[in-house]
Amino acid sequence: MKVLITGGAGFIGSHLAERILAQGDEVLVIDNFLTGRRDNLKEHNSLELREFSIAERDKVFKAFDDFTPDVVIHAAASYKDPENWLEDSLTNVAGTANIVQASQAAQVKKIIYFQTALCYGLNPEEQPITLDHHIESGNSSYAISKTAGEQYVALSGLNHVIFRLANAYGPRNMSGPLPTFFHRLSTGKPCFVMDTRRDFIFIEDLADVVMKSVNGEGGTGAYHISSGSDYSIKQLFDEVVKALDIKLEEDVEVRPRHADDAFTILLDPSRMQNDFAYIINTPLEEGVRRAVEYYKEYGISETYTHLKQLKK
């Protein structure tokens, strides 16, 4: 099998590239390295890497023509700067349109797309959120542009799977609270946590589900990849402190959530559990420990957030 992965040097894409190469398949990675890291990918005889933006239409179509993929995993996304609407539009909207139309021209057997749970808005009307919940993506440039990308994938007529994700974490992740906590705690900077809860999924569990889809299991359309449980951000912080084996002089400050920040975003994983016969069960303590081990070895130079009001 030949698998093309956009954003293959990023957090999710690089883990999937490793899995696919390990089972003897060929991989072509496209990445512009705005947030991906070169040390996320090791050299491999069956791995090819091309460095460019998926907004560059001619380069996208040439890559597809040269490689002739069977499966496309579209993991590339712009999320580095919540105020850079132009880059979000170029990558997440125009770039996705390029990937989808190149997939049509190449007659790929399946395209897999990753969507954010922010597509349901910051105040979802049900908990856990089901796949029938209406889309309300106007809360951030990231959510708006990722939702447009999902709609292009659905419009294509291709065999497709949309994975709407809870908060993924683990080795190589540079966005969200966990790497921020590690970075600040390990450099002696003060921290605070928001009085919110989130559904966290460890990257290896996420990759298990995606690989089942890559290899032909499950159905088509939208799925949640979710643990079905939520944790307070304070719990996540405490696990980072524990993994670092440090003692704080005083308790971390817990700040009240913003008026437009959901208390919890919990996704219903029942369709995933049924179709892929998989239950996500990596304990938060284990997942955080493995993430911290990675950060200690490889370091963190910069962390990112999707939402402007969460940047501090």
* 303 and 204 inside one domain: no
pLDDT band (50, 70, 90) for residue 306? low
Residue range(s) defining the domain that contains residue 305: 177-198+228-265+282-310
Residue 241 belongs to domain with CATH number: 3.90.25.10
Choose the weakest-confidence range: 4-13, 24-33, 64-73, 261-270.
261-270
Residue 288 and residue 154 in one domain: no
- In the structure, what pLDDT confidence band is assigned to residue 281 with cuts at 50, 70 and 90? confident
Position 272 in a domain: no
Residues 63 and 207 placed together within one structural domain of the fold: yes
pLDDT for 139: 87
Same domain, yes or no: 220 and 233: no
Of the listed ranges 42-56, 96-110, 198-212, 251-265, the least confidently predicted one is 251-265
Q: How confident is the model at residue 310 (pLDDT cuts 50, 70, 90)?
A: very low
Residue 312 predicted with pLDDT over 50: no
Q: What is the pLDDT of residue 261?
A: 73
Q: Once rounded to an integer, what is the mean pLDDT over residues 248-274?
A: 90
d(CA 21, CA 211): 12
Tell me: do 162 and 205 sit in the same domain.
Answer: yes
> Is the domain of 36 the same as that of 47?
yes
**Cβ-count burial of 297 within 10 angstroms (0-12 exposed, 13-18 middle, 19+ buried)?**
exposed
Is-contact 308 142, C-beta < 8 A? no
pTM of the model: 0.94
Q: 13 and 162 share a domain?
A: yes
Whether 153 shows a pLDDT value over 90: the answer reads yes
- Same domain? For 162 and 46 the reply is yes
Query: Residues 270-285: what's their mean pLDDT?
Result: 96
Determine the pLDDT at residue 182: 96
6 and 141 in a single domain? The answer is yes
Domain match, 123 and 217 both:
yes
In a domain, 101, yes or no: yes
Based on the fold, state whether residues 84 and 213 are members of the same structural domain.
yes
| Token output for 99 | 């990937």
In this structure, what CATH number is given to the domain that contains residue 13? 3.40.50.720
Q: List, as one string, the DSSP characters of 24-60.
A: T-EEEEEE--SS--GGGS---TTEEEEES-TT-HHHH
